[in-house]
Amino acid sequence: MGVANRLDLTLRLVQGSGRVSVSELSHRLGVSEMTVRRDLDALERQGLARRVHGGAVATRAHESGAGFSVREAWQAATKDRLGAAVAELVEPGSRVLLDAGTTTVHVAEHLAARVPLTVAVLSLQTAMRLADRSGIELLIVGGLSRPGERSLIGPLALHALRSLAFDCFVMSIGGVHAKYGWSEFCLDDAAVKQAGLAQAARTVAVADATKLGVRAFSKVARLDTVHSFVTDKAAADPATHPSGPQTLDALREAGVETLLA
C-alpha cells in the first residue's frame, strides 16, 4: 500500500472511531506498529490527528475543511484515473446523482465530456467543479454541510433524494468487504448513500484499492446492491493489498461488474 493511500485510510479510521490504538491500526492496515507511529506523527504535523498514549484521537482541524483539502491532494493521479473510468460509464442525457468524496470530485471533472447531463450533487466541492459547465444542468441537493467534508447530509438531504429519480448514482465508499458489504465511517453519510441507492436505476461505486477488505462503522448495503465497481489496478495485487483479490472475487460472485483502472 502506498504511503498516501495508507495515510488516507489511517485518517479515516481515526476520525471514524474518535480514538484508535496503534495495535488496532497495525492490524487493520497490515503494517508494523512502527510504520503506524510514523504515519500518526505525519498526520499530527498536519493537524489532522493528535497522538495519545498507545494511539491517536481525532482533532477538530478537519472541521475547517483541512481534512478534505489534504486528502484531495493524496494520490490525485490515481483518483483522476478512476474519475475518468467512472465518467465513461455515464450515458449522455442521463440524470446522475453524484456522491461526496475526494474521488468523485475527479468524476465531476470528467463528466464534462459526457454532456448533456442533469447532475445532482451531494457535495459543495463537486458543485463548485460543475457550476457554469456548458451542457450540465446542476442540481444541488439540500441539507446540512458536514464540517470538514462539505458533504450534504441530514433530513433535508434525505427528503430531497426521496422526491427524485436518477438513471445513475455514482457512489463513493469508505469500505467494501466480502462478507459485510458496502460500508461508511459516518452514520449520516451511510444514510444518504442508502437513499441514493433506492432512487437510482443503476449504481456505480468507486473507491481506491485501500478500501477493499475494510469494514467501516456503518453498513450501507449488500454487495449485490451495486451494479458496477471501479477501483485501481493495485487492488488485484495481494502483495500490497492482501484483501484485494478476495474482495474482487466476492464482488464478481455477487454479480457486480468490476473494472480496474
Give me the domains of the chain, ranges plus CATH numbers. Answer: 3-70 (1.10.10.10), 75-260 (3.40.50.1360)
Whole-angstrom distance, CA of residue 168 vs CA of residue 6: 30
Q: What is the pTM of this model?
A: 0.77
Decide: 219 and 182 in contact? Cβ < 8 Å. Answer: yes
Q: Which residue has the cell 496503534?
A: 22
Under the banding of pLDDT at 50, 70 and 90, the label for residue 64 is: very low
Cell numbers placing 258: 468490476
Give 153-198 pLDDT, tens digit per residue. 999 999 999 999 999 999 999 899 999 999 998 899 999 999 999 9
Residue 141 φ then ψ, to 5°:
-65, 135
Which tens digit of pLDDT belongs to each residue from 83-99? 999 999 999 999 999 99
Report whether pLDDT(65) > 70.
Answer: no
Phi, psi of 200 (to 5 degrees): -110, 140
Longest dimension (CA), the chain: 54
Placement of cell 492490524 in the chain: 27
**pLDDT for position 69:** 55
**Band (62; pLDDT cuts 50, 70, 90):** very low
Q: C-alpha distances in angstroms, 152 versus 156, 173, 201, 216, 256? A: 9, 15, 21, 20, 27
Q: What is the pLDDT of residues 18-39, one digit of tens each?
A: 688 999 888 877 889 999 999 9
